[in-house]
Structure 1
Amino acid sequence: MNITFGVDSFIWTENFSEKDLWIIKKAEEIGFDAIDFAIAHPETFPTDQVIAELQKTHLIPVTTTTLDAKRNFLSEDASIRQNGIDSMKQLVDINKKLGSKILGGVNYAGWGYLTGKPRTDLEWKHSVDCMREICDYALEVYPELDICVECVNRFETHFLNIAEDAVKYCKDVGTTNIKVHLDCFHMIREEKSFSGAVKTCGKEYLGYVHVNENDRGIPGTGLVPFKEFFTALKEIGYDRPCTIESFDPSFEELNGNCAIWRSFAPTGEALAIEGLKNLKEIAKNI
C-alpha cells in the first residue's frame, strides 16, 4: 500500500514561528511527503515565510489547530464562541494561502475544556452552528479545503470521542466540506475497533489521519494495530496523508493537556525517523 506519510511540526516545536522555518526542509530530507503545521495561534503564524520555504520542497501542506477557553464553541458566552469563529476563519485564509486542503484538530470546542458531565444538547447546537458558519465561509473563499474534526480521548474533551459521534456531527453541520479526523492515540482509548471506526467514517467522511502510537512513542513499537488500520484505510480508498505527531516534555502550553511527562526517543526527530521506517514496513505488506 502506497501511503503519503506526513510529520507534524510538534515533533520539533510547540509554537511554530520564524525561527522554525528550517523544519520544512528537514521534513522532506528525512523522508516525509507532507508536513502538518500545528497552528494554535494563527495571529502569529509566519504564513508568507512558510510559503517561501514550501516552494523549495515537494511537501504537501496540512494544518491542524486547537481552540482554547477564550475561543470555545461550547461556551454559553456568545462573544467567546465568536472569538472561535473569527480564529477559524483566519485559519481558513491561511490554508488558502498555503494551498493546504485539510484543517484538522480540536477545532470544534476548547481543547481540554471539561464540564465534568456528558455533553449537552445546547453545547451540540452551539458547536454545530459555529462550525456551519465556518464551513459556509470556507466554501465561499476556498472550496478545496476540508475542515476535519478530531475525535480525542475523554480526558481532553467530553464532546467528540469516537468516530460515530464525529460522523453525526458532520451530518448535523450538513456541508460538503466537513470531515472526520482520526488519531490512533485517541482511538485505542475510545474505539471498539480500528477498522470499525474507519468504516464508520467511510470514504465520504474520513478526511485526515494521525498515525500515533498508544503512548505517543515511536509508531510501530506499541499496541496500535497498524496493519488492521492500514488495511481498513485501503478498503475505503483513503488517499490523504497519514501523519506522525508527538510532543516533547519540554513543551509548556501543550503538556498539561497531553500529559507528556517523559521522552519517548532521544529527540522528536529520531522518533519520527524510526516511526516512518516502521510504518512503511507495515504498509508495504498490505
Structure 2
Amino acid sequence: MLIGAHALVFSGSFEHEGLTRAIEKTRQAGFDLIEIPLMDPYNFDRMLAARLLEDNGLAVSASLGLNDSTDLTSDDPDVVAAGERMLEECLDIVHAMGGRNLCGVIYSAMKKYMAPATASGRASSAAALGRLASRAEGLGIHLSLEVVNRYETNVMNTGRQALDFLDEIGSSNVSVHLDTYHMNIEESDLYTPVLDVGERLGYVHIGESHRGYLGSGTVDFGSFFRGLGRLGYDGPVVFESFSSAVVNEDLSRMLGIWRNLWDDSDDLAAHANRFIRDSVRAVETIALH
C-alpha cells in the first residue's frame, strides 16, 4: 500500500518552483507517493517532474477533473474529442513521470449539472473511456473513476453507481476511486460501499468532512479503514485537503474553498501521514484479537 498526499496540500501552482516545493515537501512529510493534478496538461513540464520524483524517491499518480470544453458526456462530438485528446495527453505525462495511475473526474465535467445524465451522454463517455483504457494499458497505466457528490457530477455519486458505469465501459483496466469526503455526503455508511466495490476498488482519497485535519470532522474513518482491511486493499491511499491558505484559483472556485481550514502545510501533512498509517496499523492488529 502506497500512502500519498495530494500536491495541492503544498502548492497552488506547478511551474518549476511550485512543483519542486510540492514534491520535496511530500517526501519530507514521510509519504510514499504524490498525486499531481494535471489542470493544465499542455503546459506541464513532465521531464522536470520525472527528475524531481527520482531525486526524492517518490512514486507518482495524476488526477484531474474535466470541464465544459472537455466533457465526455457532452452532446457535442467536438467537445468529447477534445476531452479524449486531453486525457491522452495526461496518459503520456503519467507515463513520462513513471506513474501507474490516472484518476479523478475523468468521465464528465466536474460541476453541478442541472439535469440527470442522459443515456447518450453516458454512452459517449463510456465509449471514450474504453478507448482510453486500452491506450493506458499499453502504457502500464490504470484508470480510476472518482465517485464524487451530487454537486460535482451527475453520472455517479455512490460506489454502486460506479460499478454500473464500469459495466457500461467494459474494461478491466478501469476501476473505482472512492473518496471519504464524498462518501460522507452520499453513502449510507463508510464500510459497506468498500465491500460492495470489492476488487474493483483501485484508488482511495482520504479527506475529512470539512477538508481539514483528519479526525477533526465527522467522517467515520474507523469503519472505512476496517473496510479496506477486510477487503485486503493494497492500492494507493492519498490524503487530500484544501484551504484558502494554498490557492489554485480555478480549483478553489470550483470546489468552493473559501476558508482557511489550516495554515501550516507541513504540520497538516505530517499529521495526515501519521493518522493514515496508524489507522492502517490499527486494523492490522484486529487479526490478533
What TM-score results when the alignment is normalised by the length of structure 2? 0.93
CA displacement 1:187-227 (0-9 Å, x = unmatched): 00001121111111112x10100000011011122111111
Contact 2:6 2:238 in 1 (8 A): yes
How far 1:22 moved relative to its partner? 2.9
Contact 2:73 2:108 in 1 (8 A): yes
Matched, 1:280 2:277: yes
How far 1:256 moved relative to its partner? 2.2
User: Matches of 2:75 and 2:196 in 1, distance apart?
Assistant: 31
CA displacement 1:59-110 (0-9 Å, x = unmatched): 1111111111110111111000000000011111111111211111010011
Q: Secondary structure at the match of 1:71?
A: coil
Contact 2:71 2:79 in 1 (8 A): yes
Query: Which stretch shows the higher mean deviation, 242-251 or 214-223?
Result: 242-251
AA paired with 2:30?
A: G
User: Matches of 1:16 and 1:270 in 2, distance apart?
Assistant: 21
Q: Secondary structure at the match of 1:55?
A: helix
How far 1:113 moved relative to its partner? 5.0
CA displacement 1:132-188 (0-9 Å, x = unmatched): 11112223x31x211000011111111121111111111211112101111110000
AA paired with 2:95?
A: K
Contact 2:4 2:237 in 1 (8 A): yes
AA paired with 2:262?
A: A
Contact 1:219 1:276 in 2 (8 A): no
Matched, 1:25 2:21: no
> Once superposed, what is the RMSD of the aligned Cα atoms?
1.4
2:39 counterpart residue number: 40
Q: Secondary structure at the match of 2:85?
A: helix
User: Matches of 2:70 and 2:165 in 1, distance apart?
Assistant: 19
Contact 1:227 1:283 in 2 (8 A): no
1:14 counterpart residue number: 12
User: Matches of 2:189 and 2:40 in 1, distance apart?
Assistant: 34
Of residues 181, 188, 198, the one that matches 1:185 is 181
Matched, 1:242 2:240: no
Equivalence map 1:160-175=2 (5 Å): 160-175=156-171
How far 1:9 moved relative to its partner? 0.6
Contact 1:16 1:39 in 2 (8 A): no
Gaps of 5+ in 2: 284-289
Matched, 1:199 2:195: yes
User: Matches of 1:57 and 1:22 in 2, distance apart?
Assistant: 11
How far 1:280 moved relative to its partner? 2.7
Question: How many residue pairs end up in the alignment?
Answer: 280
Matched, 1:251 2:248: yes
AA paired with 2:13?
A: N
2:58 counterpart residue number: 59
Contact 2:29 2:273 in 1 (8 A): no
Matched, 1:120 2:118: yes
1:85 counterpart residue number: 84
2:287 counterpart residue number: none
Matched, 1:230 2:229: no
User: Matches of 2:103 and 2:161 in 1, distance apart?
Assistant: 16
How far 1:230 moved relative to its partner? 0.9
Of residues 196, 205, 209, the one that matches 2:204 is 209
How far 1:52 moved relative to its partner? 0.6
Gaps of 5+ in 1: none
1:96 counterpart residue number: 95
Structure 1 outlier segments of 4+, above 6 Å: none
How far 1:26 moved relative to its partner? 1.8
What TM-score results when the alignment is normalised by the length of structure 1? 0.93
How far 1:236 moved relative to its partner? 1.3
AA paired with 2:123?
A: K
Matched, 1:265 2:262: yes
User: Matches of 1:178 and 1:254 in 2, distance apart?
Assistant: 25
